[in-house]
Structure 1
Amino acid sequence: MSNTDILPNWENLVKKQLKTEDIYSILKKENLEGIDVRPFYSEVHQPLVNLPKVEESTHLVARYHESLEEDVFAFILDHNVEHLEEKTIFVNNKDLAGHISPKEEDQYFSLIDVFNENECTIDDQLAKELLSKDFKRNICVDISLHQNAGAAIYQQIGIALAKAKELVEAYGPDILNKLIFRTAIGGNYFFEMAKLRAFKIVFNQFSREYGFSDTPYIFAETSSRNKAIADSENNLIRSTLELASAMIAGADAVFSTNYLVNRSTDNSEEISFKQQIVLAYESIINVFEDASNGSYYVEDITRQIAEKSWALFIEIEEGGGYLELMKQGIIQKKIYDQAVEEQKWVEEGKIKLIGVNLYPKLDVKRSIEEMYSEKEIKAVRWAEMFE
């Protein structure tokens, strides 16, 4: 029996149970991204291209600790460490970057963003210093802050393209294969898969404007936005799902930020990293280029996110570019409006967080005005309202 034989019967049954002919308006699932999500999918009209990762296997990245040297192959470094050989190093400190001279067998990546968001400028001296380094990827385009500040998925991607365009205009199109994009992965499991897939598509399209056909290098880390001080075990579950989203969607590197909020222990750092180990070696999801390819649902929302992201990128460019709109406060206002609406959903219980707005332990509540500013892009956790 084909799908076409089954679906009309399914629809008629639902119409009968809901006592209405208009079942799709009832079953439609509301979301803050403005994405049309259908109750079921039987096909996808335009299958999307399956774009590869830059790296053959996803790097599992740990914050450096000497006890991990034997077993871990990729580290984030905030300070200099001697005699690290045949490791993949993500440099997270601009002073450190100035003193590093990679050896032939080393792989060094920069996680340093050259945009000064407060002054709405590019640090030209820092950019040139980083570009002179023998790194595999020299400059980071950081949009993790935007996710943690409450930006919509399509806003994050549109901003990433706009920041890349500013760098191309300043340093030429060859910089495109020297960029690493750092993003935070939120808790909307399938939407976050679609985010990375959509970003690959629009970045590939963007690079074609300059005669390339590049895929972006994506460094994905867990979000702080949906984490809470209380019930740290729930943070651990949320970050595990975020890591899975990133790996399935084909991130080139993943990093789990500490699941404890505002504090850290050796044990919590170890557990945070070992989330990645369990996912990689028990589920083997770090080796696939695009494991969600072919899922009608993910394909459809990927296409919609890509279209909305590209439209925002064009809007930013027509308005004068990322830095110009930052100077005018327009980018900040866009993120603010989205973040406030999202926080209202948390306040109203449309977004549920166990231990925060669902079965809360504390009777505390801050106002949205206390938490957000339309003049500043800053990380805000949903749970801060109740802590």
Structure 2
Amino acid sequence: MFKKTSLQDWETLVQKQLKTEDIYTILSEDNLENLSVKPYYDSVKSSLANLPKVEESTHLVSSYHESAEENVFAFLLNNNVEDLTEKVIFVNDANLSEHISLDENNRYFSLVDIFSDNEKGKINVQLGKELLSKNFERNLCVDISLHQNAGASMIQQLSIGLAKAKELTEIFGAEIINKIIFKVSLGSNYFFEISKIRALKLLFNQFSKEFGLDETPFIFAETTFRNKSKNDPENNLIRSTLELSAAMIGGADAVFSNDYKMENSDSVSEEISFKQQIVLAYESIINVFNDAGNGSYYVEDLTQQLAEKSWKLFREMEEKGGYCELLKIGTIQTEINEQAMKEQNWVEEGKTKIIGVNLYPKLEKVKSSEEMYAGNEIKAVRLAEMFE
């Protein structure tokens, strides 16, 4: 039996080591989400129930290559491929969804987003109807990966995800809630990203209860481009490995690793990127755990803070007319741009460190934030572009 260390015991020890009574000023750090993060956790306000996945184990998704057919079980398709059997297939192109040959031995999911995020809130309703007519397990994608790559905060990403799901229910009815798949991108803030996935589960479940349902979201998670650089691409491998790990531990149903090379990518770099998932899954088996973050005071607290703040922002968006209406008047674009500029300034000032870009070695700035971002547009911008 180990003696329980109380918060007072911990504070007394740290005060002695830091030679000050004001330890929280020294140990506290700002974060871009404005979440309250304590240096030490000995409890959590309220424990969460286990947050399950839809799938029994996380799918490890690869871009399609003929040579991978035998050993890979989940593919991301941008072109029609025939004669695939016993595969999980994620359709990534609207034109492909019209012509793909469905095989009853495969499972099909659509990653086609019918929202035009930069065309004044337009929704391709006809495409949505066509997708719903397909024999896919999940037909309608809510893509918030663009918003992450554009610099949106996690709270903005989650609230936008709910707001887009709400728009879909208003058009197609509540019966499509279990036909929705979320596509998310994950960045470098490891424990925050684990908590973001878990918060999405909480939020969507709460959202579904508004319609008398009890649904778990299907989450397709991919590595971000936001923190990647052209210089020293091997550093991108380290970043994406952490992102994939966060996705699996957070409970994503499928993961995909974008090519770690920003330039001169080829079949070898694509294969290496995919095999990161293999190493994580087969060396640590984190793709099979059901809510591995459950019981961690830190992760539980972050999850609840993200969920509460995101639900509040979602409600505010709905009161102002919803996602599409706020796109039409430019509110979403402006708010994401403000957050993205703040994150970019942190990189410029060195508060956010990117190895090989603004740390070891420190590159010279060649672009200003104003040159990189457009306040009236949601567009993907890499933080390292300032130095490239």
Compute the TM-score of the two structures, normalised by the length of structure 1: 0.97
Tell me the distance in 1 between the aligned counterparts of 2:279 and 2:313: 37
Tell me the distance in 2 between the aligned counterparts of 1:166 and 1:313: 12
> Contact between 1:101 and 1:133, CA under 8 Å: does it hold in 2?
no
Q: Say yes or no: does 1:23 pair with 2:23.
A: yes
> For residues 215-254 of structure 1, what are the structure 2 equivalents within 5 Å?
215-254=216-255
Tell me the distance in 1 between the aligned counterparts of 2:287 and 2:139: 24
1:51 Cα shift?
1.6
1:147 Cα shift?
0.3
1:201 Cα shift?
0.2
Tell me the distance in 2 between the aligned counterparts of 1:220 and 1:283: 19
Number of equivalent positions: 386
* Structure 2 residue aligned with 1:80: 80
* Structure 1 residue aligned with 2:174: 173
* Structure 2 residue aligned with 1:110: 110
Mean CA deviation greater in 324-333 or 352-361: 352-361
Secondary structure of the residue aligned to 2:99 is: coil
Secondary structure of the residue aligned to 1:98 is: helix
1:100 Cα shift?
2.3
* Structure 1 residue aligned with 2:47: 47
Tell me the distance in 1 between the aligned counterparts of 2:118 and 2:14: 53
Tell me the distance in 2 between the aligned counterparts of 1:96 and 1:262: 26
> Which residue identity lines up with residue 49 of structure 2 in the other structure?
V
Q: Say yes or no: does 1:264 pair with 2:262.
A: no
Secondary structure of the residue aligned to 1:3 is: coil
Tell me the distance in 2 between the aligned counterparts of 1:254 and 1:17: 43
Residues 11 and 362 (structure 1), Cα distance of their counterparts in 2 relative to 1, 3 Å cut:
closer
Q: Say yes or no: does 1:341 pair with 2:342.
A: yes
Secondary structure of the residue aligned to 2:12 is: helix
Tell me the distance in 2 between the aligned counterparts of 1:176 and 1:78: 25
**Post-superposition, which runs of at least 4 consecutive aligned residues in structure 1 deviate over 4 A?**
none
1:105 Cα shift?
1.6
1:325 Cα shift?
0.2
1:101 Cα shift?
4.2
* Structure 2 residue aligned with 1:142: 143
> Contact between 1:136 and 1:178, CA under 8 Å: does it hold in 2?
yes
> For residues 181-220 of structure 1, what are the structure 2 equivalents within 5 Å?
181-220=182-221
Q: Any unmatched runs of 5+ in structure 1?
A: none
Deviations 1:202-243 (A, max 9, x none): 110000000110010000000000000011010001000000
Q: Any unmatched runs of 5+ in structure 2?
A: none
Mean CA deviation greater in 261-270 or 15-24: 15-24
Deviations 1:339-377 (A, max 9, x none): 100000000111111110012364342100000111000
* Structure 2 residue aligned with 1:3: 4
RMSD between aligned alpha carbons? 1.2
Tell me the distance in 1 between the aligned counterparts of 2:38 and 2:160: 27
> Contact between 2:81 and 2:100, CA under 8 Å: does it hold in 1?
no
1:82 Cα shift?
1.2
* Structure 1 residue aligned with 2:313: 312
Tell me the distance in 2 between the aligned counterparts of 1:339 and 1:81: 38
Secondary structure of the residue aligned to 1:170 is: helix
